[in-house]
């Protein structure tokens, strides 16, 4: 599992409704491309035995509402067929149902070590850190750029996060690195923007590292910060992980991007994204990714978590 699995985001309030923008944007584009009016779409759905109002369709494409009830979700699957888009492509943009009521907007956080198989080795490292700020930070956006070297090893991970304080005093982010191979060399953490490196706890035998990234100053409630840092491996040769990069989220993340960069002269033979929700650990979904002619691909997920989201790749033996 190489990569840089990190802590969580916390409560998401009304301002965060913009996270759902991808669905109405994609729906409007699909309707335009189909050349169908809302009346004709309603007619074609009715011919399939589905009753849905033009008003509801209008609300869906404007973003004022979205399909959530079972009958609406069933209609959406038929709508994808009527519009001629890939099955599941619109449904995938919805994410989990929007919470209703303030009390329901604060999901229970999993323990930081809960999603790791080697939690017994991780817990002592976390105990050496100040975790007080962890659940006070809502993740607004995150972008990981992973560079794989010519020797197929993990060269670097560049991380950009937009965080918002839900309470006064949040002053650090806790990050966990799992090399996925006991004894593998551990990388360096290099602060780049709006953070400094605090304490670092390592267990080289387990291939684990925990680091504090300290903000320039404590945040006030509602204040945001854009922080960047790099995780750089020594090399060449660069450490070969399990040909996989993933993030582990103990609370929902609003939007997350993994950008992969491979050596153009040696791209992987296959590459796909994987998602594994924490509430159904036996359910893993995969989607094939296309690596372009300069060795790049990416995966995007909205309103995901708790759980694991990542990219896995491989070469022909």
Q: Are residues 85 and 111 in the same domain?
A: no
- Domains in the chain: how many in total? 2
In the prediction, which pLDDT does 96 show? 57
H helix intervals, the chain: 22-34, 38-47, 54-62, 70-83, 119-126
**Residue 259: which of 174, 168, 172, 144 has the closest Cα?**
144
Question: Is 4 inside any structural domain?
Answer: no
Q: Which of 71, 93, 115 is the last residue of a domain?
A: 93
In the prediction, which pLDDT does 257 show? 96
> 69: exposed, middle or buried (C-beta count within 10 Å: 0-12, 13-18, 19+)?
exposed
Question: Is 22 inside any structural domain?
Answer: yes
- For residue 111, the enclosing domain spans 105-314
In the prediction, which pLDDT does 282 show? 63
Question: Is 203 inside any structural domain?
Answer: yes
Cis peptide before 237 (omega within 30 of 0): yes
Alpha-carbon dihedral sign for residues 297, 232, 115, 213: negative
Q: Are residues 109 and 88 in the same domain?
A: no
Q: Are residues 112 and 88 in the same domain?
A: no
Q: Are residues 72 and 182 in the same domain?
A: no
Q: Are residues 116 and 68 in the same domain?
A: no
Q: Are residues 143 and 275 in the same domain?
A: yes
Question: Is 98 inside any structural domain?
Answer: no
Q: Are residues 132 and 281 in the same domain?
A: yes
Q: Are residues 165 and 310 in the same domain?
A: yes
Question: Is 60 inside any structural domain?
Answer: yes
In the prediction, which pLDDT does 245 show? 94
Q: Are residues 64 and 114 in the same domain?
A: no
User: What's CA 65's distance to the chain center, in Å?
Assistant: 23
Q: Are residues 25 and 166 in the same domain?
A: no
- Strands, E, within the chain: which ranges? 137-148, 154-165, 170-178, 188-193, 195-203, 208-219, 224-232, 244-249, 253-261, 270-277, 285-288, 296-304, 307-314
Rg of the chain (C-alpha set): 21
User: What's CA 116's distance to the chain center, in Å?
Assistant: 17
In the prediction, which pLDDT does 2 show? 45
Q: Which of 65, 93, 121 is the last residue of a domain?
A: 93
Q: Are residues 112 and 158 in the same domain?
A: yes
Work out the number of other CB atoms within 10 angstroms of the CB of residue 207: 23
* Backbone torsion region of residue 147, taken as left when φ is above 0, otherwise alpha when ψ lies between -120 and 50, otherwise beta: beta
**Residue 134: which of 173, 82, 161 has the closest Cα?**
173
Question: Is 33 inside any structural domain?
Answer: yes
In the prediction, which pLDDT does 97 show? 56
Q: 3-state secondary structure string, 72-129?
A: HHHHHHHHHHHHCCCCCCCHHHCCCCCCCCHHHHCCCCCCCCCCCCCHHHHHHHHCCC
Question: Is 11 inside any structural domain?
Answer: no
Domain of residue 309, CATH code: 2.60.40
Placement of tokens 């990569």 in the chain: 3
Question: Is 9 inside any structural domain?
Answer: no
Write out the chain's pLDDT in tens, 317 residues: 444 444 332 222 333 333 346 788 888 888 988 898 888 888 888 888 887 777 778 778 877 777 877 778 888 888 989 998 888 888 888 765 555 444 444 445 667 777 777 878 999 999 999 988 888 898 889 999 999 999 999 999 999 999 999 989 999 999 999 887 777 789 999 999 999 999 999 999 999 999 999 999 999 999 999 999 999 999 899 988 889 999 988 878 889 999 999 999 999 999 999 998 876 656 788 999 999 999 999 999 998 888 889 999 999 88
In the prediction, which pLDDT does 12 show? 29
In the prediction, which pLDDT does 224 show? 95
Q: Which of 51, 70, 93 is the last residue of a domain?
A: 93
In the prediction, which pLDDT does 168 show? 92
CA 203/CA 181 separation, integer angstroms: 12
pLDDT digits (tens, 9 = 90+) for 3-13: 444 433 222 23
Q: Are residues 142 and 226 in the same domain?
A: yes
In the prediction, which pLDDT does 152 show? 95
pLDDT digits (tens, 9 = 90+) for 44-90: 888 888 877 777 787 788 777 778 777 788 888 889 899 988 888 88
């Amino acid at each position: 599992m190489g990569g840089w699995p990190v802590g969580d985001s916390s409560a998401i309030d009304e301002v965060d409704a913009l996270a759902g923008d991808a669905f109405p944007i994609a729906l409007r584009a699909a309707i335009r491309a189909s050349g169908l009016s809302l009346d004709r779409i309603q007619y074609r759905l009715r011919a399939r035995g589905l009753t849905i109002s033009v008003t509801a369709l209008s609300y869906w494409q404007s973003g004022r509402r979205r399909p959530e009830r079972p009958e609406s979700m069933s209609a959406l699957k038929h709508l994808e067929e009527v519009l001629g888009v890939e099955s599941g492509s619109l449904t995938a943009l919805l994410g989990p149902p929007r919470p209703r009521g303030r009390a329901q907007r604060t999901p229970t956080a999993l323990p930081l070590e809960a999603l790791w198989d080697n939690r017994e080795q991780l817990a002592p490292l976390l105990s050496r850190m100040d975790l007080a700020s962890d659940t006070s930070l809502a993740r607004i956006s995150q972008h990981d750029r992973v560079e794989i070297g010519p020797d197929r090893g993990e060269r670097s991970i560049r991380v950009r996060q937009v965080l918002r304080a839900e309470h006064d005093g949040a002053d650090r982010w806790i990050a966990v690195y799992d090399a996925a191979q006991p004894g593998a060399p551990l990388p360096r953490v290099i602060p780049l923007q709006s953070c400094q490196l605090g304490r670092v706890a390592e267990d080289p035998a387990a291939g684990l590292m925990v680091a504090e990234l300290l903000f320039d100053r404590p945040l006030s409630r509602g204040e945001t910060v854009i922080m960047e840092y790099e995780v750089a491996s020594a090399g060449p040769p660069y450490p070969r992980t399990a040909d996989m990069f993933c993030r582990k989220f103990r609370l929902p993340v609003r939007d997350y991007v993994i950008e992969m960069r491979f050596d153009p002269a040696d791209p992987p033979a296959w590459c796909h994204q994987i998602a594994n929700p924490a509430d159904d650990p036996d359910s893993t979904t995969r989607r094939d990714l296309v690596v372009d002619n300069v060795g790049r691909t990416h995966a995007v997920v909205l309103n995901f978590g708790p759980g694991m989201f990542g990219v896995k790749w491989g070469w022909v033996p």
